[in-house]
């Protein structure tokens, strides 16, 4: 039984685990990735930090991993109250593992939020995060002539990173017109520096950057060969269209926090400013379930710097609750002030880069919404005619969200499309209906059957073979 | 440079690369088809979320190509069990 | 008339009542098929019922479902599959037990075909090789329960009001004359309580007691596979060794494929109120029992699990028919784990009762006032 198990080794999880371990707790850090860092600090084995901001912060945390038990390549599929973390390890010859914990920090991060459009299922259309992961983790550019589109500041590092690695960026198409955002950036010297850096790189690589534009369709037979780019009005309705040739499209519309584990535990949630469901936490990053803390994107998408702060606060809070070292009050005050500032920045970012309902105008009856079960927009409309009133009932009547990804990719879109026909917009209950996943990762029946009778036995691993 | 075999042809990879990354670097953009529409699929989310990039590695089906590190001599086929 | 509940039972009641000429409004507080119907497997089984009123109801319902499926487009829309059920036994005693049960079931109109051990793999090629024998039930069938409810409702032509909660009954003296909802009053010549697991609460609004309690069940869903399992397959006896800490949990795996390619593995039974927390003990049992029947499933991944709450009465029979304690109120609820299968006959019988037609089956065993008032 560990004092603390931290799930997720991105900025928040690393900071939490290191803070708690430094305060004297017996900590295990469990992560699905092969190397620490999560999506933000995703890196190649020989990385020097060239592609990363705040690399020094990461190196410092990575250097402290010897104070705790770091378990890479562990995919957590369920967490039982009490707490027992059920994971699978091994990327091909998988093996079940269980870890007991007195406290948990959930730092499972987020994935790209997808909005469907005609042709988005063609090979060569990737999420912006997917293109970034290929570049940072594997040093592979997703294509040769790439269109980057969607909304949010994240499009900038993706486009400039790919250009720096030799790809031609046919254009960056930002759907919003975030003119007012610059004054928020100006208040944060590090963000201003980062922004100026991207502007310089866009200029150096001669990358066209267009606000108020979007990719509204992708074309090709077996792979993407071109996209239709439209100028958008305020509500994102297309005004004027043109076709651009490309072999790759990287699209991102913000992020969706990964909430399956806190939802398994019964943690209370709320809807954040960006329309995502997030875990509700108090000043010490405590969730509504005693002993369960959350930090980073799971509590509201806000970027790596905020995640580092929240993680550290969570780790310190767990250590204090466990009777360890009381944290330095001045240090905590500094962290709280920084968290306040960064959360305000995140709120400004969400206000400047919203998703506008006009994205739904791009869809045709035959446009896929659920990629796994190949459910089209038209079939969702049929489900509504049959009596569906939101994403959960539409899932039962159309199979949207019932496939392998369990609605991770289509959940947001399905929530909007299925509530829209009922003349409303998604509320927290609708998003919950797409976010509950009692089995968070595929688990072989043999491994399920091999679960020991008494779940409280610490027996690690379950199958020594 | 190391290699694995994808549907009969050698695919080079750098140590530490995922199978999905190596296929992409080799210009291979899709390696399975969907079970209803027969549509081609490859990498989409790149981080283990979407399950579009499934491969069979050394007869072990339904693995996410973006999450499995390539190993010398692997035999990789596209698709999952239902293909 | 007003039907309270848009699950499969309410939908079947609406369908048969409308066909009998009644004007029907269905009031559902959530979405169509959003309760226990949406958590079911869609079993239309005669094989698992012992002789008695429930088997008689199941046999009647099996015939009604077959008629429904033959109607224009309805069978395909609800994914009706008359695939048959195969019950297998591990031991000779189990085989003998199956044979004994089959004799009695045949007397009630059930087809049951003995399958010697050597012929089992002819029915199911992937079955474990060491089973002692089985019984094949050609009448067992399957529908996709949510689509079944939705399409029956659509075919009924009833007005369906989702997101509307019944908060009380309208009365004229002792007579129930409609329902009060959070969106206004609805007058009706008759009110049907088809609220499933929540039927006791609706009955209470009319001042009568119908003792329905939730019985939780989990279902495991595998990754999609090529067709592997042809029938509904389940074990005649408990397969797994029962551990002491699992007291209160019962399960026997029912394994079946679906048109979508996934395999459904149900179903556990627990009386734990409305607790949705995943039970590792229940999943472990289901996985073990499924692998015992089909060893190849060991390498197959479960990708989802869900739970639902069966509406059960103390005597495990549903409540069907007019309530003599509250004129104008009828019940069609409490079908436990068999609601999809029994829905067609329930709707048919209720429509007969409403129109004064002679019932195809004696409703006496299902009468709402059969329970002691103060248990």
Q: Name the DSSP class of C297.
A: G
pLDDT at A244 > cutoff 60: yes
Least confident of B52-56, B79-83, C148-152, C294-298: B79-83
Residue C286 confidence (pLDDT): 93
Assessment of whether the complete model's pTM goes beyond 0.90: yes
**Chain B residue with minimum CA distance to C226:** B82
Bridge partners (DSSP) of residue A171 are A147
Q: Name the DSSP class of A353.
A: S
When CB atoms are compared, the residue of A121, A142, A409 closest to B49 is A409
Q: How far is CA A28 from CA A311, B20, C232, in A?
A: 15, 29, 44
Angle at CA C324, nearest 5°, toward C322 and C329?
45
Domain check: are C178 and C246 in the same one?
A: no
Interface-testing mutation among C74, C145, C148, C150, with chain A (most A C-beta atoms within 10 A): C150
b/e code A163-179 from CB counts within 10 Å (16+ = b): bbeebbbbbbbbbbebe
Cis peptide before B2 (omega within 30 of 0): no
Is A81 within 8 Å of C278 when comparing Cβ atoms? no
Its domain, for residue C260, covers 85-138+213-312
- Give the Cα separation of C207 and A330 in Å (integer): 63
C 264-293: CB under 8 A from A? 265, 277-278, 280-281, 283-284, 287-288, 290-291
Which has the higher per-residue pLDDT, A452 or A265? Answer: A265
Domains held by chain C: number:
2
The bridge status of strand C43-44 relative to strand B60-64 is unpaired
**Chain B residue with minimum CA distance to C259:** B36
Residue C225 confidence (pLDDT): 94
Q: Which chains touch C (3 or more CB pairs under 8 A)?
A: A, B
| Tally of CB atoms within 10 A around A214 | 28
- Give the Cα separation of A5 and A101 in Å (integer): 6
Chain B hits for C225, CB-CB cut-off 8 Å, are 81-82
The minimum CA-CA distance between A388 and chain C, rounded to whole Å, is: 6
Interface-testing mutation among C126, C221, C225, C303, with chain B (most B C-beta atoms within 10 A): C225
By the 8 A CB rule, do A422 and A389 touch? yes
DSSP secondary structure string for all residues of A13-57? HHHHHHHHHHTT--EEEE-SSSSTTTTTT---TT--STT-SSHHH
Residue C96 confidence (pLDDT): 92
Residue C88 confidence (pLDDT): 95
- Mean pLDDT value of segment A43-62: 86
Which has the higher per-residue pLDDT, A452 or A257? Answer: A257
Q: How far is CA A446 from CA A440, C280, C295, in A?
A: 17, 14, 9
By the 8 A CB rule, do C127 and C120 touch? yes
pLDDT at A458 > cutoff 50: no
- Mean pLDDT value of segment C247-258: 79
pLDDT at A462 > cutoff 70: no
Residue C244 confidence (pLDDT): 31
Question: What does the pLDDT look like over C36-79, one tens digit per residue?
Answer: 999 988 999 999 999 999 999 999 999 999 999 999 899 999 99
Question: What does the pLDDT look like over C347-362, one tens digit per residue?
Answer: 999 999 999 999 999 9
- CB of A158 less than 8 A from some CB of C: no
- CB of B62 less than 8 A from some CB of C: yes
When CB atoms are compared, the residue of B14, B22, B40 closest to A222 is B40
- CB of B33 less than 8 A from some CB of C: no
Question: What does the pLDDT look like over C189-234, one tens digit per residue?
Answer: 999 999 999 999 999 999 999 999 999 999 999 999 999 999 999 9
Interface-testing mutation among C224, C229, C258, C260, with chain B (most B C-beta atoms within 10 A): C224
Give me chain C's average pLDDT, please: 92
The minimum CA-CA distance between B82 and chain C, rounded to whole Å, is: 5
pLDDT at A460 > cutoff 70: no
When CB atoms are compared, the residue of A45, A125, A374 closest to B36 is A374
- Mean pLDDT value of segment B70-77: 96
pLDDT at C291 > cutoff 50: yes
- In this structure, what token pair is assigned to residue A122? 């063609």
pLDDT at A99 > cutoff 50: yes
Chain A hits for C242, CB-CB cut-off 8 Å, are none
Domain check: are C218 and C308 in the same one?
A: yes
Domain check: are C185 and C42 in the same one?
A: yes
DSSP secondary structure string for all residues of A204-227? HTT--EEESEEEEEEE-SSS--EE
Chain B hits for A246, CB-CB cut-off 8 Å, are none
Residue C374 confidence (pLDDT): 58
- Give the Cα separation of A463 and A452 in Å (integer): 10
A 395-414: CB under 8 A from C? 396-397, 399, 402-404, 406
- Residues above pLDDT 70, as percent of chain A: 96
Q: Which chains touch A (3 or more CB pairs under 8 A)?
A: B, C
Interface-testing mutation among B49, B75, B83, with chain A (most A C-beta atoms within 10 A): B49
- Residue C272 in any domain: the answer is yes
- In this structure, what token pair is assigned to residue C140? 């067992």
Which residue do the tokens 């699978």 mark?
A88
- ipTM entry: 0.96
Is A455 within 8 Å of C33 when comparing Cβ atoms? no
Least confident of A388-392, A411-415, B38-42, C250-254: C250-254
Domain check: are C188 and C303 in the same one?
A: no
Residue A465 confidence (pLDDT): 28
Give me chain A's average pLDDT, please: 94
Confidence of residue A148 (pLDDT cuts 50, 70, 90): very high
Domain check: are C320 and C229 in the same one?
A: no
- Residue C278 in any domain: the answer is yes
Domain check: are C161 and C303 in the same one?
A: no
CB under 8 Å to C198, separation ≥6 — which residues? Answer: C5, C35, C212, C311
Q: Where are the domains of chain B?
A: 2-78
Is B43 within 8 Å of A134 when comparing Cβ atoms? yes
Domain check: are C149 and C288 in the same one?
A: no
When CB atoms are compared, the residue of A124, A405, A442 closest to B50 is A405
pLDDT at C240 > cutoff 50: no
Domain check: are C233 and C305 in the same one?
A: yes
Least confident of A173-177, C101-105, C108-112, C271-275: C271-275
Residue C248 confidence (pLDDT): 64
Domain check: are C128 and C250 in the same one?
A: yes
Domain check: are C181 and C219 in the same one?
A: no
| Tally of CB atoms within 10 A around A210 | 14
Domain check: are C274 and C356 in the same one?
A: no
- Residues above pLDDT 90, as percent of chain C: 85
Q: How far is CA B34 from CA A379, B31, B81, in A?
A: 17, 10, 11
Residue A451 confidence (pLDDT): 67
By the 8 A CB rule, do C332 and C320 touch? yes
DSSP secondary structure string for all residues of A251-267? EEE-EEE--HHHHHHT-
Q: Which CATH class is domain B2-78?
A: alpha beta
- Residue C127 in any domain: the answer is yes
**Chain C residue with minimum CA distance to B60:** C299
**Residue C256 belongs to a domain with what CATH number?**
3.30.9.10
Residue A408 exposed, middle or buried by CB count within 10 Å (0-12, 13-18, 19+): buried
**Residue C31 belongs to a domain with what CATH number?**
3.50.50.60
Which chain B residues have any C-beta within 8 angstroms of a chain A C-beta? 14-18, 20-22, 24-25, 29-30, 34-37, 39-52, 57-58, 60, 62-63, 66-69
**Chain A residue with minimum CA distance to B66:** A134
pLDDT at A456 > cutoff 50: no
Domain check: are C168 and C27 in the same one?
A: yes
What stretches of A54-197 adopt beta strand conformation (E)?
Answer: 69-71, 74-80, 84-89, 95-106, 110-112, 125-127, 145-151, 168-174
Question: What does the pLDDT look like over C114-133, one tens digit per residue?
Answer: 999 999 999 999 999 999 99
Chain B hits for C300, CB-CB cut-off 8 Å, are 81
Confidence of residue C241 (pLDDT cuts 50, 70, 90): very low
| 3 state SS of C257 | strand
**Which among A43, A80, A17, A3 is positioned nearest to A295, based on CA atoms?**
A17
Bridge partners (DSSP) of residue A240 are A231
When CB atoms are compared, the residue of A34, A123, A371 closest to B40 is A123
The minimum CA-CA distance between A100 and chain C, rounded to whole Å, is: 15
């Amino acid at each position: 039984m560990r004092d603390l198990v931290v799930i997720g080794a991105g900025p928040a999880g690393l900071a939490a685990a290191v803070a708690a371990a430094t305060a004297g707790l017996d900590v295990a850090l469990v992560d699905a990735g092969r190397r620490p860092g999560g999506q933000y600090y995703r890196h190649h084995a020989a990385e020097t930090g060239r592609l990363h901001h705040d690399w020094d912060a990461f190196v410092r945390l990575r250097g402290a991993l010897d104070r705790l038990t770091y378990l890479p390549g562990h995919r957590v599929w369920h967490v039982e109250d009490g707490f027992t973390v059920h994971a699978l390890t091994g990327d091909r010859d998988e093996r079940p593992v269980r870890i007991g914990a007195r406290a948990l920090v959930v730092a499972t991060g987020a994935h790209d939020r997808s909005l469907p459009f005609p042709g988005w299922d063609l090979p060569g259309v990737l999420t912006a995060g997917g293109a970034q992961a290929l570049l940072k983790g594997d040093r592979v550019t997703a294509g040769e002539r790439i269109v980057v589109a969607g909304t949010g500041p994240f499009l900038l590092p993706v486009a400039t990173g790919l250009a720096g690695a030799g790809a031609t960026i046919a254009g960056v198409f930002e759907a919003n017109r975030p003119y007012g955002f610059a004054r928020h950036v100006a208040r944060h010297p590090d963000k201003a520096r980062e922004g100026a850096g991207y502007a310089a790189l866009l200029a150096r690589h001669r990358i066209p950057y267009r606000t108020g534009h979007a990719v509204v369709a992708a074309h090709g037979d077996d792979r993407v060969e071109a996209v239709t780019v439209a100028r958008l009005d305020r509500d994102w309705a297309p005004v004027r269209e043109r076709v651009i040739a490309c072999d790759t499209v990287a699209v991102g519309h913000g992020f969706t926090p990964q909430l399956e584990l806190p939802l398994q535990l019964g943690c209370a949630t709320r809807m954040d400013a960006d329309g995502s469901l997030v875990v509700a936490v108090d000043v010490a990053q405590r969730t509504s379930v005693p002993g369960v803390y959350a930090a980073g994107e799971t509590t509201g998408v806000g970027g790596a710097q905020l995640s580092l702060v929240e993680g550290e606060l969570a780790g310190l809070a767990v250590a204090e609750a466990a009777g360890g070292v009381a944290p330095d009050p001045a240090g905590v005050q500094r962290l709280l002030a920084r968290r306040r500032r960064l959360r305000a920045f995140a709120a400004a970012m969400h206000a400047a880069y919203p998703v506008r309902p006009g994205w739904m105008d791009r869809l045709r009856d035959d446009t896929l919404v659920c990629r796994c079960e190949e459910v089209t927009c038209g079939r969702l409309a049929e489900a509504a005619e049959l009596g569906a009133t939101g994403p959960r009932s539409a899932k039962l009547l159309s199979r949207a969200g019932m496939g392998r990804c369990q609605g991770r990719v289509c959940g947001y879109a399905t929530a909007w499309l299925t509530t829209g026909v009922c003349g409303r917009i998604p509320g927290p209950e609708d998003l919950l209906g797409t976010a509950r996943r009692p089995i968070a990762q595929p688990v072989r029946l043999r491994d399920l059957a091999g679960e020991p009778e008494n779940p409280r036995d610490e027996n690690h691993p379950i199958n020594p073979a | 440079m190391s290699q694995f075999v994808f549907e009969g042809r050698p695919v080079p990879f750098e140590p530490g690369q995922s199978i999905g990354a190596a296929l992409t670097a080799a210009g291979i953009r899709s390696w399975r088809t969907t079970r209803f529409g027969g549509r081609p699929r490859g990498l989409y989310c790149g981080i283990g979320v979407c399950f579009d990039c499934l491969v069979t590695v050394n007869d072990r089906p339904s693995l996410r190509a973006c999450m499995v590190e390539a190993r010398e001599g692997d035999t990789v086929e596209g698709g999952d069990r239902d293909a | 008339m007003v039907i309270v509940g848009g699950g499969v039972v309410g939908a079947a009641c609406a369908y048969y009542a409308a066909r009998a000429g009644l004007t029907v409004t269905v009031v559902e507080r959530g979405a169509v098929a959003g309760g226990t119907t949406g958590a079911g497997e869609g079993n239309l089984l005669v094989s698992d019922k012992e002789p008695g009123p429930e088997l008689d109801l199941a046999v009647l319902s099996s015939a009604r479902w077959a008629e429904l499926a033959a109607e224009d487009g309805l069978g395909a829309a609800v994914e009706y599959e008359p695939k048959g059920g195969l019950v297998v036994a591990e031991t000779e005693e189990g085989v003998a037990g199956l044979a004994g049960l089959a004799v009695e079931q045949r007397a009630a109109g059930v087809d049951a075909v003995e399958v010697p051990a050597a012929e089992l793999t002819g029915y199911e090629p992937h079955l474990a090789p060491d089973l002692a024998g089985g019984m094949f039930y050609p009448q067992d069938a399957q529908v996709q329960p949510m689509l079944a409810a939705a399409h029956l409702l659509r075919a009924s032509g009833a007005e369906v009001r989702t997101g509307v909660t019944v908060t009380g009954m309208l009365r004229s003296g002792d007579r129930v004359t409609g329902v009060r909802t959070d969106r206004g009053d609805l007058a009706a010549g008759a009110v049907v309580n088809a609220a499933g697991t929540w039927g006791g609460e609706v009955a209470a609004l009319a001042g009568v007691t119908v003792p329905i309690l939730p019985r939780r069940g989990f279902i495991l869903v595998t990754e999609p596979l090529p067709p592997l399992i042809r029938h509904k397959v389940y074990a005649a006896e408990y397969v797994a060794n029962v551990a002491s800490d699992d007291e209160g949990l019962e399960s026997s795996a029912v394994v079946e494929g679906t048109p979508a390619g996934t395999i459904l593995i149900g179903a556990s039974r627990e009386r734990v109120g409305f607790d949705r927390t995943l039970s590792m003990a229940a999943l472990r049992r289901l996985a073990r029992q499924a692998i015992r029947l089909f060893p190849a499933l060991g390498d197959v991944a479960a990708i989802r699990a869900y739970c639902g709450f069966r509406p059960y009465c103390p005597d495990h029979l549903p409540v069907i028919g007019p309530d003599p304690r509250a004129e104008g109120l009828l019940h069609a609820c409490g079908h436990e784990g068999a609601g999809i299968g029994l829905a067609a006959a329930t709707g048919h019988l209720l429509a007969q009762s409403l129109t004064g037609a002679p019932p195809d089956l004696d409703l006496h065993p299902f009468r709402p006032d059969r329970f002691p008032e103060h248990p």
